[in-house]
């Protein structure tokens, strides 16, 4: 479902003496439907960079990144937009929303964007918010004023609202208490059971052991140091 081959990336800092910083070379990854792969490696090894290249908000320098039938490294913006609506979900570490939009609508939006009905979207949003223990009295309020943990749960509910065939999870269990952590792990297990291919970053080793089938060490994709 997700296939990376020979992916490379460097950053060019035009305003800092045109410094070229190679960050990745020869990255390869293959994730089958129903499989969850954890990206591991030290801080700065490129876990987030690799994940962002798969999502398309970082431009790959070279190689191929196939998600379903789209090669993210080469696709037109509108193909990537369609892929993000229908195929590839992303649970980021932070919630980014339009101010003033009620929590229920924030969570329901991906279902609507993927072509679901209003009734279906709302039912799904209610179900997820209840499971993640977000108090019902907050559902009509904008999540911008919520606590960190509440925002993260809204973010997770939003990420799981549409049944994506492929998902990227960036620290989904960070800043959650034990009860909600268990709910998130159950959501991941359900997504795997229905055949979703998942790539995740988990600093929480226990969570990783529980839901991930394999680990891929990103430091193996570090570019060779020039002498």
Interface with other proteins by CB under 8 A: which residues? 11-15, 52, 56-59, 77-78, 80-81, 96, 98-101, 112-113
Smaller CB distance to other proteins: residue 14 or 227?
14
Other Cβ atoms within 10 Å of 183 Cβ, number? 18
Rounded Cα distance between 165 and 213, Å, is: 17
Shortest gap between Cβ of 135 and other proteins (angstroms)? 23
Shortest gap between Cβ of 30 and other proteins (angstroms)? 24
Shortest gap between Cβ of 117 and other proteins (angstroms)? 14
Smaller CB distance to other proteins: residue 50 or 185?
50
Smaller CB distance to other proteins: residue 73 or 187?
73
Q: Pull the structure tokens for residue 22.
A: 């190679």
Smaller CB distance to other proteins: residue 18 or 177?
18
Shortest gap between Cβ of 47 and other proteins (angstroms)? 16
Closest CA to 175 of 197, 198, 207, 130: 207
Residues 28 and 2 sit within 8 Å (Cβ to Cβ): no
Shortest gap between Cβ of 61 and other proteins (angstroms)? 10
Rounded Cα distance between 227 and 23, Å, is: 16
Max Cα distance, the chain (Å): 61
Shortest gap between Cβ of 97 and other proteins (angstroms)? 8
Shortest gap between Cβ of 216 and other proteins (angstroms)? 22
């Amino acid at each position: 479902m997700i296939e990376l081959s020979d992916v490379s990336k460097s950053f060019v800092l035009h305003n800092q003496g045109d410094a070229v910083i190679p960050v990745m070379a020869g990255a390869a990854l293959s994730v089958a439907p129903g499989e969850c792969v954890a990206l591991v490696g030290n801080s700065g090894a490129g876990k987030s960079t690799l994940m962002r290249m798969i999502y398309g908000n970082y431009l790959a320098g070279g190689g191929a990144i196939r998600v379903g039938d789209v090669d993210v490294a080469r696709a037109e913006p509108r193909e990537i937009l369609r892929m993000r609506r229908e195929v590839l979900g992303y649970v980021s570490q932070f919630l980014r929303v339009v101010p003033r939009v009620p929590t229920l609508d924030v969570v329901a939006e991906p279902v609507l964007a993927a072509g679901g009905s209003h009734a279906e979207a709302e039912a799904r949003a209610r179900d997820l918010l209840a499971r993640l223990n977000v108090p019902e009295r907050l559902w009509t309020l904008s999540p911008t004023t919520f606590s960190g943990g509440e925002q993260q749960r809204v973010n997770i509910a939003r990420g799981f609202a549409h049944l994506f065939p492929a998902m990227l999870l960036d620290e989904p269990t960070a800043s959650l208490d034990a009860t909600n952590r268990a709910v998130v792990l159950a959501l991941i297990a359900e997504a795997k059971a229905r055949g979703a291919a998942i790539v995740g970053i988990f600093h929480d080793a226990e969570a990783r052991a529980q839901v991930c089938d394999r680990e891929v060490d990103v430091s193996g994709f570090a570019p060779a140091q020039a002498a």
